[in-house]
């Protein structure tokens, strides 16, 4: 179940930096996301929004489908809202 | 080193886009061999490199991967080679990890896994120039000290650091290094027990901890005691709701973040770069499609116009060879076999080499520059509607040149159902071998005076569109309705734009040319000889038309006529359909023999326009030509594609299904055209 104050990656504005709080996807997909740098507590910067989006994580740009981004729960970090 | 002493094997591993293949090419040059791993069509690229003392070693370039967890055929193969479980390939003596210096955290994640294999590791800190340009402070000695493996800075695309790398490879590192990241306590207990059981059973094997983690994940088999322990621990973790795979990834990343921070290695700043500026255009929902359309238009224009010149030269070369053989040898069966069988058959296929090379030049440049990943990203939404992911775009694009490289390119598609669907629909993308058939039939259907050149180009485009839209429709049917389940969501790295390495692209083209010519000299040669035999025996009449009519192929054509008559096709077309199973373009040369018009295109078109049924009605009405065109858009008239599909899917079931559904579709499409055409024309 989604925590009350959690938002997903699609709800984050472009240019904002957030911290991954939870992954809500199938185990194999979760593991691939973690290996690509989207592990819990990792800092992620959203570069582009839209139907599919691009994030900056672990020093590289990673494109995600919106469907997957909705399964990545994040929390804002200080200085972002 | 004595001649009898086996060469050392060094596996080259790394993330995609880390410059692994460029470094491999720089170390091995043209001393490369490409083959397939036993039983699968994942390409195995090996090459010989030399240490500074002239000692030869075999390098094996493994497919790019983000981790050792196998999720695609590529990653499965890489893992097996590193574990020494791939038949015919010795376990590597050392592993060369290529890491992108500007993206250390993510690239070193794989290194932490590789270090657990119990094999000595050397790290090439690649693209250091780009990393420094992005403000990253690199400290190779500090990294070596902290990680316990040697780091060597390189710039593979400029050939820098290769001497140091060759020196280090010649020093025969023996220390496999040790794990530095800290396991969560409950996991450490489990891994300790399983690894101890493994060591008890197989004391000579290195890397027991890595094996224990693999066993826990269910990636490998192992000694019974260790296996039982792994099952028990897995069950215990499940009861405790302990997500141990997540904990392992977090622990590795946590270690790497701390280690890089302590080593004083700076981070790349996520500020706006050229890549972001270009991305703003090419990923724009409107402009991005314009850029993609422009690139595809340039690609197709090059395939169909620039390639025409070398294709003419190849054609002239084979014609000259044919004339030379005709003049040099006495008339007889052997001369006919050489000219009409071997040279005509092999030449008819080799002629497409320039188109295939241009396709691979474009694909290489687009991939090396970083654009191909953007195209896949852009197309993901469209592909997703038919149940596929953007990763199927490249194989389908390749299939416009030839379904064989297209089907082979599906190995990068992770999801097995996506991969199978892509293989099943790949032959619907009109390949270059259909061009001669389309051109001839369009010309036969409508006289040039009636249809201007742009009209013919439009008709050609229509045929391409028919194949493409049918492919998407069927992909939806197969993926969503037949195979079931949703397509996996897209996770795709978008590498920074880089200047392509022409050396790498040209080497790749060279490899393609060698593979293609080898195929033409073996499979196509054998099929051409067989086809010549079928077209010339058992009847040896003087008149080629009569000989063909009474040949095995002719008899087959007659036998086929009742089946194909509803489509408006006579026995002569039946011969063309049978003969073009070897290669579609053979239809044109076979029709030239059937109508006894030599190799001239105009003569054939005129003969086809005047051909009649026994009752005097025209055989090639515009409707019949259209029916035949639709038949060729859909039919799987290519045995080589069937053979590749069998290798790729690991059996005859799917190629048989592919053959059946495409033949059925071709028949139904041609019948529909003929029936509707007759109704309309009254």
Pairing of strands A72-76, A60-65: unpaired
Handedness of CA B535, B539, B542, B545 (dihedral sign): negative
Distance CA B31, CA B58 (A): 10
Of A27, A60, A64, which is closest to B103 when you measure between CB atoms?
A60
- Contact residues on chain B for A64, CB-CB shorter than 8 A: 489-492
Distance CA B102, CA B108 (A): 11
Mean pLDDT of B40-62: 81
Are B268 and A59 in contact (CB < 8 Å)? Answer: yes
SS3 B265: coil
pLDDT at B457 over 50: yes
ipTM: 0.93
Greatest mean pLDDT among B231-235, B455-459, B581-585, B636-640 lies in B231-235
Total length of chain B: 682
pLDDT tens digit sequence for B241-277: 898 999 999 999 999 999 998 887 866 665 668 888 9
| Buried b / exposed e along B309-331 (16+ C-beta atoms within 10 A) | eebeebeeebeeebeeeeeeeee
Residue B658's alpha-carbon distances to B329, B406, B414, B478, in angstroms, are 43, 15, 21, 11
- Contact residues on chain A for B106, CB-CB shorter than 8 A: 36-37, 57-60
pLDDT tens digit sequence for B175-201: 777 888 999 999 999 999 999 998 888
Distance CA B54, CA A72 (A): 52
Q: Which pLDDT belongs to residue B306?
A: 85
Of A58, A59, A65, which is closest to B490 when you measure between CB atoms?
A65
Mean pLDDT of B381-394: 83
Mean pLDDT of B668-678: 94
Q: Which pLDDT belongs to residue B30?
A: 65
Q: Which pLDDT belongs to residue B158?
A: 86
| Buried b / exposed e along B85-107 (16+ C-beta atoms within 10 A) | ebeebebbbbbbbbbbbbbbbbb
Q: Show the tokens assigned to A16.
A: 């904002």
Q: Which pLDDT belongs to residue B561?
A: 92
Mean pLDDT of B368-393: 85
Q: Which pLDDT belongs to residue B42?
A: 55
Q: Show the tokens assigned to A80.
A: 């972002």
Residue B376's alpha-carbon distances to B288, B292, B604, in angstroms, are 12, 10, 42
* Percentage, residues of chain B above pLDDT 90: 31
Are A63 and B491 in contact (CB < 8 Å)? Answer: yes
Q: Is B286 on the interface with A (CB under 8 A)?
A: no
Beta strands in B8-133 (DSSP E): 8-14, 32-36, 43-50, 56-61, 94-100, 121-126
Q: Which pLDDT belongs to residue B34?
A: 58
Lowest-pLDDT range, A36-45, B203-212, B600-609?
A: B600-609
State the distance between the two ends of chain B, measured CA to CA, in whole angstroms: 84
> A5 to chain B nearest CA, in Å?
23
Q: Which pLDDT belongs to residue B276?
A: 87
Q: Which pLDDT belongs to residue A38?
A: 93
- Contact residues on chain B for A71, CB-CB shorter than 8 A: 489
Q: Name the closest residue on chain A to residue B112, using Cα atoms.
A: A35
Distance CA B387, CA B407 (A): 18
* CA nearest neighbour of B16 among B58, B49, B48, B62: B62
Q: Which pLDDT belongs to residue A20?
A: 93
Average pLDDT, chain B: 85
Q: Which pLDDT belongs to residue B39?
A: 46
Mean pLDDT of B388-398: 84
Cα Rg, chain A, nearest whole Å: 11
Q: Show the tokens assigned to B676.
A: 């509707």
For residue B319, report the phi and psi dihedrals to the nearest 5 degrees: -65, -45
- Give the side-chain half-sphere CA count within 13 A for A79: 6
Q: Which pLDDT belongs to residue B596?
A: 66
pLDDT tens digit sequence for B275-298: 889 999 999 889 999 999 899 888
Output the DSSP codes for B373-435: HHHHHHHHHHHHHTT--GGGHHHHHHTTT-HHHHHHGGGG--SHHHHHHHHHHGGGS--TTHH
Distance CA B83, CA B221 (A): 12
pLDDT at B1 over 60: no
Confidence of residue B682 (pLDDT cuts 50, 70, 90): low
Q: Which pLDDT belongs to residue B448?
A: 56
Q: Is A31 on the interface with B (CB under 8 A)?
A: yes
Q: Which pLDDT belongs to residue B40?
A: 47
Q: Which pLDDT belongs to residue A45?
A: 92
Mean pLDDT of B77-93: 86
pLDDT at A41 over 80: yes
State the distance between the two ends of chain A, measured CA to CA, in whole angstroms: 23
> A39 to chain B nearest CA, in Å?
6
> B66 to chain A nearest CA, in Å?
7
Distance CA B479, CA B580 (A): 30
- Contact residues on chain A for B488, CB-CB shorter than 8 A: 29
Confidence of residue B332 (pLDDT cuts 50, 70, 90): confident
What single-letter DSSP state applies at residue B50? E
Query: Which residue matches tokens 């170390």?
Result: B27
Are B67 and A35 in contact (CB < 8 Å)? Answer: yes
SS3 A36: coil
Kindly report the pTM of this predicted structure. 0.78
Category of A15 on φ-ψ map: left (φ > 0), alpha (ψ -120 to 50) or beta: left
Mutate to test the interface with B, among A18, A59, A71 (most CBs of B within 10 A): A59
pLDDT at B90 over 70: yes
Mean pLDDT of B51-79: 85
pLDDT at B503 over 70: yes
> Within chain A, how many helices (H) and strands (E) appear?
2, 6
Residues 163-222 of B with CB under 8 A from A: none
Q: Which pLDDT belongs to residue B601?
A: 58
pLDDT at B486 over 80: no
Helix ranges (DSSP H) in B127-174: 128-133, 140-147, 162-170
Q: Which pLDDT belongs to residue B41?
A: 46
Confidence of residue A81 (pLDDT cuts 50, 70, 90): very low
Q: Show the tokens assigned to B527.
A: 């099929």
Query: Which residue matches tokens 């030509």?
Result: B625
Lowest-pLDDT range, B57-61, B121-125, B318-322, B501-505?
A: B501-505
Confidence of residue B74 (pLDDT cuts 50, 70, 90): confident
Confidence of residue B631 (pLDDT cuts 50, 70, 90): very high
Structural contact between residues B80 and B67, judged by C-beta atoms closer than 8 angstroms: no
Distance CA B46, CA B38 (A): 14
């Amino acid at each position: 179940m989604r925590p009350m104050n959690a938002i997903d990656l699609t709800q984050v504005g472009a240019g904002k930096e957030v911290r991954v709080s939870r992954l809500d996807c199938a185990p194999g997909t979760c593991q691939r996301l973690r290996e690509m740098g989207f592990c819990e507590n990792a800092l992620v910067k959203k570069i582009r929004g839209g139907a599919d989006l691009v994030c900056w994580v672990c020093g590289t740009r990673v494109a995600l489908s919106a469907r997957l981004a909705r399964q990545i729960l994040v929390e804002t970090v200080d200085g972002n809202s | 080193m004595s001649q009898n002493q086996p060469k050392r094997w060094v596996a080259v591993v790394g993330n995609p886009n880390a410059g692994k293949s460029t470094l491999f090419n720089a170390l091995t040059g043209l001393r490369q061999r490409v083959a397939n791993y036993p039983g699968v069509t994942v390409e195995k690229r090996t090459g010989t490199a030399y240490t500074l003392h002239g000692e030869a070693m075999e390098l094996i370039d493994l497919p790019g991967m983000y981790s050792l967890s196998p999720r695609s055929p590529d990653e499965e193969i890489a893992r097996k080679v590193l574990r020494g479980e791939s038949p015919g390939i010795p376990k590597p003596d050392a592993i060369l990890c290529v890491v992108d210096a500007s993206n250390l955290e993510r690239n070193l994640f794989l290194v932490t896994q590789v270090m657990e294999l119990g094999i000595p590791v050397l790290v090439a800190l690649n693209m250091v120039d780009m990393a420094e340009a992005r403000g990253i402070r690199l400290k190779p000695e500090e990294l070596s000290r902290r990680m316990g493996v040697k780091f060597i800075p390189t710039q593979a695309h400029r050939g820098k650091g290769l001497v140091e790398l060759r020196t280090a490879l010649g020093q025969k590192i023996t220390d496999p290094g040790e794990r530095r990241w800290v396991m969560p306590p409950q996991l450490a207990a489990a891994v300790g027990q399983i690894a101890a059981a493994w060591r008890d059973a197989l004391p000579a094997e290195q890397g027991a901890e890595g094996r224990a983690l693999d066993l826990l994940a269910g990636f490998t088999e192992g000694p019974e005691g260790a296996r039982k322990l792994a099952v028990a621990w897995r069950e215990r973790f499940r009861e405790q709701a302990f997500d141990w795979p997540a904990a392992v990834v977090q622990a590795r990343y946590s270690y790497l973040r701390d280690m890089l921070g302590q080593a004083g290695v700076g981070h790349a700043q996520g500020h706006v770069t050229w890549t972001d500026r270009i991305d703003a255009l090419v990923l724009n929902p409107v402009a991005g499609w314009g850029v993609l359309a422009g690139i595809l238009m340039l690609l197709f224009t090059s395939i169909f116009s620039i390639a025409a010149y070398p294709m003419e030269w190849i054609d002239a070369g084979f014609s000259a060879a044919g004339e030379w053989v005709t003049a040099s040898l006495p008339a007889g069966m052997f001369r006919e076999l050489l000219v009409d069988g071997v040279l005509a058959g092999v030449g008819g296929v080799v002629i497409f080499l320039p188109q295939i090379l241009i396709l691979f030049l474009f694909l290489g440049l687009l991939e090396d520059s970083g654009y191909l990943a953007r195209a896949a990203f852009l197309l993901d939404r469209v592909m997703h509607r038919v149940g596929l992911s953007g990763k199927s775009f490249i194989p389908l694009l390749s299939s416009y040149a030839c379904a064989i490289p297209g089907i082979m390119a599906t190995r990068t598609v992770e999801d097995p159902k996506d991969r199978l669907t892509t293989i099943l629909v790949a032959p619907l993308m009109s390949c270059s071998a259909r061009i001669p058939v389309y051109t001839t039939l369009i010309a036969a259907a409508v006289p040039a005076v009636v249809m201007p050149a742009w009209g013919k180009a439009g008709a050609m485009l229509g045929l391409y569109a028919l194949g493409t839209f049918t492919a998407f429709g069927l992909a939806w049917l197969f993926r969503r309705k037949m195979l079931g389940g949703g397509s996996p969501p897209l996770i795709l790295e978008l590498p920074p734009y880089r200047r392509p390495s022409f050396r790498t692209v040209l080497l790749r083209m060279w490899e393609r040319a060698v593979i293609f010519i080898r195929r033409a000299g073996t499979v196509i040669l054998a099929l051409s000889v067989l086809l010549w035999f079928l077209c010339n025996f058992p009847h040896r009449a003087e008149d080629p038309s009569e000989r063909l009519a009474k040949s095995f192929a002719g008899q087959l054509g007659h036998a086929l006529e009742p089946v194909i008559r509803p489509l408006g096709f006579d026995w002569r077309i039946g011969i063309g359909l049978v003969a073009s199973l070897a290669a579609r373009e053979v239809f044109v040369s076979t029709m030239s023999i059937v109508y006894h018009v030599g190799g001239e295109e105009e003569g054939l078109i005129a003969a086809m326009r005047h051909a009649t049924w026994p009752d005097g009605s025209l055989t090639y009405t515009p409707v019949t030509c259209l029916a035949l065109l639709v038949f060729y858009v859909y039919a799987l008239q290519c045995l080589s594609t069937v053979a590749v599909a069998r290798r790729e899917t690991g059996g005859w079931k799917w190629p048989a299904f592919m053959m059946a559904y495409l033949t059925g579709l071709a028949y139904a499409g041609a019948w529909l055209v003929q029936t509707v055409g007759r109704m309309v024309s009254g």
